[in-house]
Amino acid sequence: MAKTDWKAEAKTLKKKLSKLKAKDAAPAKPAKMVSPLAPAGFPALPVIGGVEYAAVEAGVRYSNRKDVMLIRLAPGTAVAGVFTRSSTRAACVLDCQAKLAGKVDAAAGAAIVVNSGNSNAFTGAVGVEAVEAVTGAVAKALDLPASRVFSSSTGVIGEPLPYEKITAKIPDLVKDLREDGIEMAARAMMTTDTFAKGASAVVHGDGGEIRIAGIAKGSGMIAPDMATMLVYIFTDAKISAVNLQKMLSRQVDDTFNAITVDSDTSTSDALILAATGQSPAAEIALRSRVAKDFEAALKAVMLDLAHQVVRDGEGATKFVEVKVTGAASPEDAHRVAMAIANSPLVKTAIAGQDPNWGRVVMAVGKSGAQADRDKLTIRFGDVLVAEKGWRSPDYSEEKAAAYMQRDELVIAVDLGLGKAAKSVWTCDLTHRYIDINADYRS
C-alpha cells in the first residue's frame, strides 16, 4: 500500500472546505443571472420603415447602463394601445389613455419615451408634472403635438421622477435615432429582467410584405416594486387606427391577459402598437385574407412576447401551460385556468417537481366556475392522471414524476361540461421568488 501524502490530502481538503464555505455564506442573495428558461439570444428583428430608436444613460436610478429610450414614429403612423386596469395606475398610463381617446392627427407622426428605474406611480401632482415635462420636451424636440407623445416609466414606486435628468438627454436621443436600434431600446427599459425580449412576423400583403416587430419588458424586480410589463409593437402595415385598435383589443385577452407570474397586477402595464403604413403593400381591408393573416401574425408576436415575460418570471425554473377545455363558457375556462396558474400550492408543487394533482382539483374547486367533480379529467402532458372524479386506474406516479422533471410542462384539465377552452401560461414559485422580493429595498 502506498504511503498517504497527508500534506497533499490536507491541501485538497482545505480547497474543498473553502469552496463549500463560500457557497454556504452566500445562499440567499439572488445573483443577476439569465433565466434558465430564456431563449438562446435576442432574435434578429426586421427593420420597420418609419420607426427609429435611440437610448441613453440618463442616470434616473441605475448607473453605467442605458435607462431612457426614445422611439420616433413617422407621419401617418396609426397608434393603438391597451393599459392596466388598476385603479391606482401611474400618471403616464393615464396620460397615454387620455391621448389615445382624444382626437388624433396621424399625419403628425408620434413618439414614445420610456425610462426604467422609477415608475412615477403614486407620486400625486408632481407625477403629472413629470409626465408633462418629459412628453412636452420630446414634442418640442421632434416638432410634434404633445398629444402624440406617449410615455412609460418603470421601476420604484412613490419616488418623484427626476425628470430633468431625462429632458436633459433628449437632444442626445434625437441625434442618435436609428432604424436598427430596437434591441438597444428593449435593453434600456429592463429593470431586473434577465434578458431582453423581442419577437417578429412577416405577412404577405397585397403588393408586398408587411412586417411586425415587438419588444417587451417584465417581470423582474430590483427596487423592488411590482412586476411591470411594457410592450411596444411596430408594423409597417397600412391600417386605420380604429382597425388596429380593434385587432389589438381582440387579441390581448388570449395573450398578455393570459399570463401570470404571481397574480399581482402592475400600476404601469402598457402595450402600444404603432402602424407606420410604409410597407409597399396595400391598405389592409377589413375581413380580407390579409386582415386575417395580419391579425394572426400580430397575435403570434404578442403571444411570443407574453411567453418571454413568463420565462423571465421572478425565480422561474418551469414554463407551464395550463390548458382548460370542456368548460361551460370561455369565462369559466379562463377562471379555472387562472385559479390553477395562480395557486401558490400548485406553483410550489411544480417547483418541487411533484405531480400533485390533488392541488389542481382544489384549484378547480375554488375557482368559482361551474365544475362537476365527477366529470373532471386531468393530464400532466400525456400522462392521464384523473378522470370521473378519481385517480385514473392507469395512472402511473413514476411516469408523472418523470414528466414533472421537464422545463416545459402542460397541465390539461377537461371540465367535461361544454366546448369552451382557454390556455394561460405561468411559471413555478421558488425560493428565488422569496429572495428577490423579501429583500429590503435600500
Query: Which one of the listed residues 154, 167, 228, 430 is annotated catalytic?
Result: 228
355-380 burial, b for 16+ CB within 10 Å, e for fewer? bbbebbbbbbeebebebeeeebbbbb
- Please indicate whether residue 228 is annotated as part of the active site: yes
Q: Which of 201, 376 has the CB closer to a copy of itself? A: 376
> How near is the Cβ of 361 to a copy of itself at its closest, in Å?
5
- One DSSP character per residue, 25-41 reads HSSSSPP----TT--SS
Three-class DSSP category at 298: helix
Determine whether the annotation assigns residue 115 to a binding site.
Answer: no
Q: Which of 77, 367 has the CB closer to a copy of itself? A: 367
Hey, how many other C-beta atoms are within 10 angstroms of the C-beta on 101? Answer: 9
Determine whether the annotation assigns residue 217 to a binding site.
Answer: yes
Determine whether the annotation assigns residue 356 to a binding site.
Answer: no
Integer CA distances (angstroms), 330 to 26, 135, 254, 339, 360, in order = 47, 40, 11, 14, 19
> How near is the Cβ of 87 to a copy of itself at its closest, in Å?
4
Q: Which of 137, 385 has the CB closer to a copy of itself? A: 385
Determine whether the annotation assigns residue 442 to a binding site.
Answer: yes
Rounded CA separation 55/375 (Å):
55
> How near is the Cβ of 338 to a copy of itself at its closest, in Å?
12
Q: Which of 274, 424 has the CB closer to a copy of itself? A: 424
> How near is the Cβ of 60 to a copy of itself at its closest, in Å?
16
Determine whether the annotation assigns residue 159 to a binding site.
Answer: no
Q: What is the CA radius of gyration of the chain?
A: 24
Element (H, E) at 301: helix 289-311
Rounded CA separation 223/123 (Å):
16
Locate the DSSP E strands across 218-258.
230-235
Catalytic residues: 228
Annotated binding site for substrate: 191, 217, 228, 314, 437, 442
Instruction: Pick out the residues of the known binding site.
Output: 191, 217, 228, 314, 437, 442
